[in-house]
Amino acid sequence: MAAHADRFAEPGAEARSALVRRIVAAGELTDPAWRTAFEQVPRHLFVPYYFIGRTGTYERLWCEDPDPEQQARWLRGAYADQPLATRVRDGELVSSSSQPSLMAEMLQALGVRDGDRALEIGAGTGYNAALLAHRLGDEAVTTVDLDPEITEAARTHLAAAGYRPTVVTGDGARGCPERAPFDCVIATCTLPSVPREWLPQCNPGARIVAPLSTGVIRLRVREGPEGRSAEGRFLRTSAFFVPLRGGAPPPETRAGGLPRRAIENDLFRFLLSLTANSLDPREVMSLWERERRPERNRFGVTVTADHQWAWLDDPEGPYVWPLGPSA
């Protein structure tokens, strides 16, 4: 895909190189193929405008702002290692461009190989799909989003950058059976549970990387005597994404009456959300203290055709919790 690289020497080349160096220095970008993708895919083409949060409102930065200083500010922001709000509706964030270092970690966790076919859930700006297309080729990548305005914008951005993966308007919770089978699935929106419809669309050995609770789960799909299943552990990193639309709503968590030291702890809130279908907050607090504040990578998820559950240390117990709205 190197033919894309020389078309966008400026603007943004220097800022893009600096961003990649920061991500590499932080240890989040160790795969040379993904490093090349981040060096050559121009993020600024995917965020022609974005919003900066202000008290009670948002400030819009735009690539065609008549003020040169504001234009320069827009370009610097496009290559900052931070998420960018790209679509706000009635004061609520509905789409964003994820933090590049987190994107790099999630893409590397996919473990892609030449010839793999990838499904992305949540098209967003199209930037993540462009990175996948740079790595695997246009024909190998499918990205799905429920919102037709988002998919249309993603197509426009992708075309401007010279990439043409398949962009589908549809419910990502149902996958994309007409483009299956897939060797890897990556979601860029928070899930309440892993949609079971994804498993039949995956080849045995496929990887699924997706935000769940306030973490990122990495699953491997396998074929067994009882059918298709998937299992894996959370990455150590925290992650906060826009919720999946079209699937079940995320579980609510209740923190009333708990100590402030727990409520303000990121790992405790992760556990509180992960166990929302089965434990009350006091039980979560007891588990949290008994297990000495476990890190995310001690937790995992198992998905079968009939049910799915989260677990601590061992999928067979003793600490297991059902996931999904019907739990």
Residue 243 lies in a domain: no
Q: 215 and 262: one domain?
A: no
Distance CA 126, CA 152 (A): 10
* Catalytic-residue membership of 95: yes
Strands 227-234 and 215-224 come out as antiparallel
Residue 224 belongs to domain spanning? 2-232
Please give the C-alpha separations between residue 175 and each of 209, 230, 302, 326, 327, in angstroms, as whole numbers.
14, 15, 19, 20, 22
Model confidence pLDDT, tens digit, residues 144-196: 999 999 999 999 999 999 999 999 999 999 999 999 999 999 999 999 899 99
Q: 164 and 296: one domain?
A: no
From 201, 232, 263, the end of a domain falls on 232
Question: What token pair was written down for 185?
Answer: 């699935």
Question: What token pair was written down for 211?
Answer: 């935000």
Counting the structural domains of the chain, the total is: 2
Distance CA 300, CA 285 (A): 19
What is the CATH number for 94? 3.40.50.150
Q: 126 and 45: one domain?
A: yes
* pTM (2 d.p.): 0.91
SS3 91: coil
Model confidence pLDDT, tens digit, residues 230-247: 999 999 999 988 888 655
Model confidence pLDDT, tens digit, residues 35-65: 999 999 999 999 999 998 765 678 899 999 9
Candidates 17, 95, 286, 326; catalytic one: 95
Distance CA 260, CA 283 (A): 16
Residue 239 lies in a domain: no
